[in-house]
C-alpha cells in the first residue's frame, strides 16, 4: 500500500499575520506548526502501513522551513517526504495550491491512497482535498471519522455528516480527508527521531515539476481577497465583589439591563 499524506505548515496560535498588500498569510516559518488535522492524517497513514505493509510519503507545498515539520512526521512513522518549494508558489489560493500538489503527487508516481486533514486552521477552506482529487481524477471522501475496512483494492469509510454518518465504499486509488475523532496521534519514538534526522527528503521547485506558470502562486490564483480586518472586541468583563447578597444583586441588575 503506497499512501501519500498531505501536510501543511500553519502559523501557531497568535502568530497569524496577514500581508496588507497581497492579503495573504505571511509565512516566515516563525513558531509554525503542523496543521493539527494533518497529525491525524499522518497517524492514519502509519496505521494503514502497520496493517497492510507498504510505505507512507509526506507531501507539502511550503517554505523551506517546512522541512522541520516533515522530519517530525518522519519521526512518527512516515518513511520519506517531498517538499514543493519555490518563490513562484507563494500567495496561492486553493486552485493553485491543489494544482501544485497534484504535480507533486504525479512526480511521486503510483499511489493507492492520499490522506489530507479535514481543513487547514489558517486558510480554513477545506477545499484542497477535494480539488486535489479532482486534479488527479480520483474519487474522494471528506470528513472521514473511521476507516471501517482497508484492503489493497478498496476502503470502507465512515463519513461524518450534519445528521449522523454515512458508510461509503471507495475503490482505490482515492483521497480522503480526516477529522480529529479518527484516531489518537502517537508521539515520536527515539528510533523514529533517529531515523528522521537522515530520512529520505526531497525538494522540488516549479521547474522540476514542469509547472504551468499561469496556474501557480499568486498570479495563478483567481481568488481576490479585497479586504481583511481584525474583528473589534465588543465583550467586556465586569467583576462583582462584596458578600454573596450584593453579588447576586449585581448579577440581577446586569440581567435586567440586558433583557
Ligand atoms: C484572508 C484570506 C482569505 C483567503 N480566502 C481564500 C478564498 O476565498 N479562496 C481560496 O481559494 N483561497 C483563499 N485563501 C488562500 C488559502 O488560505 C490558501 O490557498 C491555502 O494555502 C490553502 O487552502 P486552505 O488553507 O484553506 O487548506 P484546506 O483546504 O483547509 O486544507 C485541507 C487539507 O489540505 C492539505 N493542504 C492544504 N494546503 C496544503 C499545502 N500547502 N501543502 C500540503 N498539504 C496541504 C492538508 O492536508 C490540509 O489539512 C485565503 C487566504 C487568506 C489569508
User: Poorest-confidence range of 135-144, 165-174, 194-203, 233-242?
Assistant: 233-242
- pLDDT above 70 for 13: no
Separation CA 202–CA 214 (nearest Å)? 24
Helices marked H in 62-210 — which ranges?
A: 66-74, 94-108, 128-136, 190-197
| Ligand 1 atom nearest residue 92's Cα | 19
pLDDT tens-digit series, residues 146-168:
999 999 999 999 999 999 999 99
pLDDT at 29: 59
Does residue 178 have its Cβ closer than 6 Å to ligand 1? no
pLDDT at 1: 96
Separation CA 188–CA 166 (nearest Å)? 33
Does residue 12 have its Cβ closer than 6 Å to ligand 1? no
Burial class (CB in 10 A: 0-12, 13-18, 19+), 234: exposed
- pLDDT above 70 for 196: yes
The C-alpha cell that represents 230 in the structure block: 481584525
Does residue 61 have its Cβ closer than 6 Å to ligand 1? yes
pLDDT tens-digit series, residues 207-253:
999 999 999 999 999 998 888 777 787 888 888 999 999 999 999 99
Domain 2-232: which CATH number of 3.40.50.880, 1.10.3720.10, 3.40.50.620, 3.30.360.10? 3.40.50.620
- pLDDT above 80 for 121: yes
| Ligand 1 atom nearest residue 35's Cα | 49
> Residue 194's pLDDT band (boundaries 50, 70, 90)?
very high
Q: How confident is the model over 169-182, as a mean pLDDT?
A: 97
Measured in Å, residue 55 CA sits from the centre of ligand 1 at 26
Which uninterrupted H or E stretch holds 64? none
Domain ranges in the chain are 2-232
Measured in Å, residue 243 CA sits from the centre of ligand 1 at 52
The C-alpha cell that represents 55 in the structure block: 510505505
Residue 219 CB neighbours (<10 A): 12
Which uninterrupted H or E stretch holds 60? strand 55-61
The C-alpha cell that represents 163 in the structure block: 445528521
Amino acid at each position: 500500500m503506497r499512501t501519500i499524506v498531505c501536510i501543511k505548515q500553519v502559523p501557531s496560535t497568535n502568530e497569524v499575520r496577514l500581508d496588507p498588500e497581497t492579503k495573504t498569510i505571511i509565512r516566515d516559518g516563525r513558531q509554525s506548526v503542523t496543521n493539527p488535522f494533518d497529525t491525524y492524517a499522518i497517524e492514519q497513514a502509519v496505521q494503514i502501513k502497520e496493517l497492510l505493509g507498504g510505505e507512507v510519503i509526506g507531501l507539502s507545498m511550503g517554505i523551506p522551513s517546512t522541512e522541520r515539520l516533515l522530519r517530525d512526521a518522519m519521526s512518527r512513522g512516515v518513511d520519506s517526504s517531498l517538499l514543493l518549494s519555490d518563490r513562484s508558489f507563494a500567495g496561492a489560493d486553493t486552485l493553485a495550491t491543489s494544482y501544485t500538489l497534484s504535480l507533486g503527487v504525479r512526480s511521486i508516481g503510483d499511489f493507492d491512497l492520499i490522506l489530507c486533514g479535514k481543513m487547514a486552521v489558517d486558510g480554513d477552506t477545506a477545499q484542497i482535498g477535494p480539488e486535489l482529487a479532482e486534479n488527479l481524477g480520483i474519487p474522494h471522501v471528506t470528513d472521514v471519522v473511521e476507516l471501517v475496512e482497508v484492503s489493497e483494492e478498496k476502503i470502507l469509510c465512515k463519513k461524518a455528516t450534519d445528521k449522523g454518518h454515512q458508510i461509503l465504499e471507495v475503490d482505490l486509488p482515492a483521497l480522503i480527508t480526516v477529522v480529529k475523532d479518527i484516531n489518537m496521534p502517537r508521539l515520536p519514538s527515539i528510533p523514529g527521531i533517529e531515523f528522521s534526522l537522515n530520512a529520505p527528503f526531497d525538494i522540488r521547485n516549479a521547474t522540476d515539476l514542469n509547472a504551468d506558470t499561469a496556474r501557480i502562486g499568486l498570479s495563478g490564483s483567481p481568488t481576490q481577497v479585497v479586504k481583511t480586518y481584525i474583528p473589534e472586541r465588543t465583550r467586556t468583563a465586569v467583576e462583582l465583589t462584596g458578600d454573596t447578597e450584593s453579588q447576586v444583586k449585581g448579577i440581577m441588575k446586569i440581567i435586567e439591563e440586558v433583557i
